Amino acid sequence: MKRVLVAGHICLDIIPKLDRFDGFIPGSLIEVGSATLSTGGAVSNVGRALDRLGVPTTMVGLVGNDLFGQNITALLGPLARGFQVRNDVSTSYSIVLNPPGQDRMFLHFPGANAEFSSQTVTDEALRLADHLHFGYPPLMRSMIERDGEELTDLFRRAKAAGLSTSLDLSVPDTESLAGQVDWTRILSGVLPHVDDFMPSQDDLSTMFDTRTPAEGATKAHELGATRVVLKCGEEGVLLSDADGALWHRCFPVQVVGATGAGDATIAGYLYGRHQGLGPHESVRLGCGVGAFCCESADAVSGIPTSAELHARLEGEWRADVSAGI
């Protein structure tokens, strides 16, 4: 793996600092702190993390020619060269609520991501890459309509071009299209073309009512996944493939926020694969990058360099926190 092409969902994250949050009460005012503006979504989160780790990376996303789109391209700089900018769409954004001691919540506008199609990723972009990572199709209408034919077409094209592939999901809004489609049909179509299936346990439990990580991995294998790298939040990561199953627990850190931690874990895993490591060793790197990410409020500012990552893995995190199951 030499160059990674990261495609899919891109948005602008608006993250107000919350010292307290008691929920929304009509007519009330909640005083908050300053806001962090950051690029968000799989393309930014995984792509910027890979770039920080020293992996040659190309990003492909779709944004509008508006203030939010201009903010995204300005924040990404040269990394946004592969983006499409259109006048007929509005840029996606999320308001990220990260209350102290609680899991984060999102108010999300899919925007331009709904118009992303297989052909948004050009043949030239595929030709110049060695690996395709795609993220968050449940937030991308065109990629999941018609039983996911656009998603399957993209992965077929990637495999035909000789790329290795990985796929991440997101928790579907049960009241949106993503909550109404047949995920069994969509995933059984695309997963035979995916080398590393990297959803979260929450993704699969919402789609299929799986109650444990082991059930989630089993369901993914039934749908055609060869290797499953299942992100399980504070519990860690479950790796399941033909060689068996491995559980890697999280490294201990002072958690400031969990925004982007799953994507950071994916980036660390892909960094390991880029270095020629096997899946087990790569999961350890993934958990390390994910832990770094949790020490910051946004998805990217806590991402380490490769030297910083290895120093911590060989120092305070040297103890093995993985186990076969």
Q: Is 45 left (phi over 0), alpha (psi -120 to 50) or beta?
A: alpha
Span 165-205, pLDDT tens digits: 999 999 998 889 999 999 999 999 999 999 999 999 999 99
Residue type, 252: P
The arithmetic mean of pLDDT across residues 34-40, rounded, is 89
| pLDDT given at position 298 | 79
Span 198-220, pLDDT tens digits: 999 999 999 999 999 999 999 99
| pLDDT given at position 325 | 57
Query: Are 2 and 275 within 8 A, CB to CB?
Result: no
Which of 314, 318, 299, 317 lies closest to 15 in space, CA to CA?
299
DSSP code of residue 108: E
pTM: 0.91
Span 111-122, pLDDT tens digits: 999 999 999 999
The Cβ of residue 54 has, within 10 Å, a number of other Cβ atoms equal to 13
Identify the structural domains of the chain with CATH numbers, from first to last. 4-20+34-324 (3.40.1190.20)
Residue type, 124: E
